Amino acid sequence: MFNLLSDLPARSDKEVVDELLSAPHLRIERIVSAGQASPPGFWYDQPWAEWVLVLSGAATLVIEGEFAPRAMIAGDSLLIPAHQRHRVDWTDPARATVWLAVHFDPPSDKTNL
């Protein structure tokens, strides 16, 4: 048994990513952030889809082409389609932001997303 909110890593200069499950076309991670953000000018552009859920803490994501950043708090989730450029603009420096990230190959028929 594993509790996603227990045994959090000590505060670090870098995000800590723990792979929880890996299978063909699927990867599930716990990510712990403590004030980290994407480097200036850096964008994620992943060939897979990603569903993220904030379990604790807070963050702001920027999705390319959107007018304003998306503020996320505990309980908020977001589906990021494959090749949707995005970046982490901010994570709470005062407490751990714990994410559950599910990476998966998108279906060939995008209407099923």
Total Cβ atoms within 10 A of residue 70: 14
pTM above 0.85, yes or no: yes
* DSSP-assigned beta bridge partners for residue 16: 32
Cα–Cα distance measured from residue 83 to residue 8, given in angstroms and rounded to the nearest whole number: 30
Query: What are the pLDDT digits (tens) for 9-62?
Result: 888 889 999 999 999 999 999 999 999 999 999 999 999 999 999 999 999 999
Count of residues making up the chain: 113
Is the pLDDT reported for residue 65 higher than 80? yes
Q: In the chain, what are the domains?
A: 30-108 (2.60.120.10)
